[in-house]
Structure 1
Amino acid sequence: MKSTQIAIIIFINLFTLFTSYAQEIRYDEKEIYKTKFDNAVPVLNVATFHFGETSDANATEFNENDKKNQAEVKKVAKLLAEFKPTIIIIEGLPKNDSIRQADYLAYLKNPKVKVKNPDEISLLAYEVGRLSGAKRIHGIDYHESYNYQIGANVKDAVDKTTANKYWDLLTENENNNPEKDIPFYDLFKLNNHPQYLESLMIMNADILTYISSKRNSEGADEAAKFYHRNLVMFSNLNQISVDKNDRIFILLGGTHTAFLNDFLTRSPKYNLENTFKYLK
């Protein structure tokens, strides 16, 4: 058989394979819309638990003053710095940006300076920025309180089972994925797992929508406040000036990370990176 005939046969087989594959793709799986700007800004959106004292209802035990723990945090910072961000975003109020910027620049000049009350920002965010050469740091937090224990205040709830069944399911998942007494790196990866982040959204907001008395929406009204807080945080992010050369690293508490993942995925302005590209 001549080489020309062989080439034709190979071409026909490849074309048939491609055509067959194309026909197997369901319409809903086809990309019919362009969803991102050509100059979409790369974003690495990373979840952390809060080191030290925190007002969060679900605190994680972690001795941030322990030298071994600090060394483990620095190892994670080195991995995340491979993203090479130019802008660092943290869970701080925008009104404090000038103070935070000065503190961050001081750290860049002397990273060995002892911090009195180290937290995830000074130990992790600052170090990611230092290793990547980022010069800018911004806070995007917005404070808005809500009653996540609204269920205790709703009498004659229509749905008396869903919330309690969810807490049982959550307890089962937590028992199967213990957070206590595991290495920091394993804990950090757990905190960034997509299913873990999704559970935080349910736990902190969505489960409240099952709590209501007849023709009322007590739980949803409270959940809306938490949704609003995260929407404002995303709005604060959108007020930060960026250009085509910028790369944004975001470090927030896990629930905020989960909300922003949704917003960033849909946003035409940003291109969300997979965190586990760096948490190997």
Structure 2
Amino acid sequence: MNAFRHFREQEAFMAETIIEIPLDELHPFPDHPFGVRDDDMMQQTVESVREYGVIVPGIARPREDGGYEIVSGHRRKHACELASLKTMPFIIRDIDRNTATIIMVDSNLQRENILPSEKAKAYKMKLEAIKRRAGRPGRNSVQVGQNYEGKTSREQIAENSPDSATQIQRYIRLTELEPELLQMVDEGKIGMTPAVEISYLNPDEQKLLIETIDSEQATPSLSQAQRMKRLSKEGKLSDDAMLGIMTEQKKPETWDLKLPMDKIRKYFPRSYTPQRMEETIIKLLETWMKKRQRDHQR
């Protein structure tokens, strides 16, 4: 399906006028969600542009203030800059903001190595553009709103994307995360599934979670995220409740802690039995934990 759509796009390119536009007249798409990174793929693109030029032209639309707004071709434009070219071929289309947003998102979603945050922001932008075109207001219309063909907005987005309607909704939920948490998702420190659950925490609870992650050097598992979400919904996600969840052992049954007797015996009187040493260690750990909880609340 994607190959067929790509073929149709190439036919459309051939039917439209392609012009060379000076790079300094090209402006990025407002709030463009896809990053332009100087990675290995960019270097390959630069080398290709130097040798063959830009094979596939970008798409741009005229700006009211002059120049052109890039709809598709941000990476190619950057490659041209790195290759010391002065112009780049573009197809100029006089289209409205909503249509431009949909084209911008669709033209980038087929790329590899897209970050979760990029998909999240892109899907939300496309969803809002579709809703504006349909004239259908309301925060929750993504779930219940239907277009004239009986399809939800998410189903419309899924038609030209690599993700299902359900997965698209999950990505859009990520836009409710605080920037620090969203970055952890991009870095693979927090999984997609627990991140979706965390997105239902209010901003203050998310900020508290960020502090807890930093102090405990641990990120929440799915079950921990689900419990925090439930407590948040009930209005019971206090500092102590969050800390208690985050400091518990995630999988206690998978390992046994064994302390070498020759290393700890020197810290106890000779009269102490192993059982008494164990009880003392537990008490010391409890004292240590209470101190950490007090420090966390300051």
Q: TM-score range by the shorter chain?
A: under 0.3
Compare CA radii of gyration and give the structure with the larger one. 2
Structure with more helix by fraction: 2
Q: TM-score, normalising length from structure 1?
A: 0.25
Which fold has the larger relative contact order, with Cα–Cα distance below 8 Å and residues 6 or more apart in sequence? 1
Alignment TM-score, normalising by the size of structure 2 = 0.24
